[in-house]
Amino acid sequence: MNTVIVPLDFSDASFNAAEYAAQLLNNHENINMILYHAYDKDWESDSSVEKLTELKTAFEKKYKLNITTSAEKDDFVHGLEKIIRHKHADLVIMGNTGHSSIAQVFMGSNTLKVSETKACPILIVPVNTQYHEVKNVMLASDFKNARTTTPSVPIKNFLNTIKANLNIVNVNSEHYVALTEEFAKEKEDLENMFAEFNPEFYFVRMYDVNDALNQFATDKNIDLIITIQRQHSLLYRRFRSSHIKNLKNNSSVPVLIVHE
């Protein structure tokens, strides 16, 4: 990764996400971390710049980071999408101001709008999350045409930066002791795709995807979840459903959204 954008609205959630980002990227001085704010009124310009500069200074005293700031008058989503494209950003790290559940990643208005721009991967940091070293990552996959629908490049870029163990998980109520030929082929494709990370594979036989992912994340001490945003995937529909269960057990687990 070369460029990471951290948008701030100066809420507790956005400051928490910025702190998480600073610790995640600490000692990666080859990565440019951009603290970004979009304001509505002209008179907010000076105070916006001042707040960003104060945060930049504070981070530079604690961490080894390459930090720049950007404040501009614009709509939040439009402005963020614009700077993502202008700076060729590899990642956005932003806070989740919902009810601190993974489901809220897809239900908060701004977060949803940003994720749907598909401009770059987005790491959502729940408001109560405190940073600790990311050792175990879970990639949730529906095992449907994985070779052509899995965005391996941004996922690999992220994994190469954080150096975490990769666990690839599929939830399906029809799993039995042995994999079907179809699932075995999808597993082989994903295994080849992420061979450099020596991924571990898990096939969970449960009906409720959310409960299964919750339980797996708890049992395996998952520090971060990667999910692929596919408009027609089962996982995406479950997250978007109005009947989503609150994922209480994983309220502090960040979610990285990558796009098909």
**What is the residue-averaged pLDDT of the chain?**
83
Predicted local confidence at residue 241, as pLDDT: 38
pLDDT in tens, 135-150: 999 998 888 888 888 9
99 and 144 part of one domain: no
209 and 249 part of one domain: yes
> What contacts 24+ positions apart, CB below 8 Å, involve 72-79?
72/37, 72/38, 72/39, 73/38, 73/39, 73/40, 73/41, 73/42, 73/44, 73/45, 74/38, 75/38, 76/7, 76/9, 76/38, 76/110, 77/110, 77/113, 77/114, 77/117, 79/36, 79/38
Q: Which of 69, 99, 126 is the last residue of a domain?
A: 126
pLDDT > 50? residue 248: no
Could you tell me which of 93, 141, 132, 144 has the C-alpha nearest to residue 114? Answer: 93
Burial of 140 (0-12, 13-18, 19+ CB in 10 A): buried
Q: What is the mean pLDDT of residues 226-253?
A: 52
pLDDT in tens, 116-130: 667 799 998 888 888
Of 171 and 161, more confident: 161
Predicted local confidence at residue 204, as pLDDT: 82
pLDDT in tens, 26-81: 999 899 999 999 999 999 999 999 999 999 999 999 999 999 999 999 988 889 99
60 and 154 part of one domain: no
Structure tokens at 41: 């009124």
194 and 174 part of one domain: yes
12 and 57 part of one domain: yes
Is 131 domain-assigned? no
Predicted local confidence at residue 149, as pLDDT: 87
Domain count, the chain: 2
Is 102 domain-assigned? yes
Q: What is the mean pLDDT of residues 190-216?
A: 84
Is 58 domain-assigned? yes
Lowest mean pLDDT among 101-115, 138-152, 168-182: 101-115
Q: What is the mean pLDDT of residues 172-198?
A: 84
115 and 160 part of one domain: no
The whole-model pTM stands at 0.86
- 3-state percent breakdown (helix, strand, coil) of the chain, nearest 5: 45, 25, 35
Q: What is the mean pLDDT of residues 98-103?
A: 43
pLDDT band, residue 97 (cuts 50/70/90): low
**Domain range spanning residue 160?**
136-259
SS3 201: strand
The H-or-E segment that residue 94 falls in is strand 91-96
Q: Give the amino acid at 168.
A: I
pLDDT band, residue 194 (cuts 50/70/90): very high
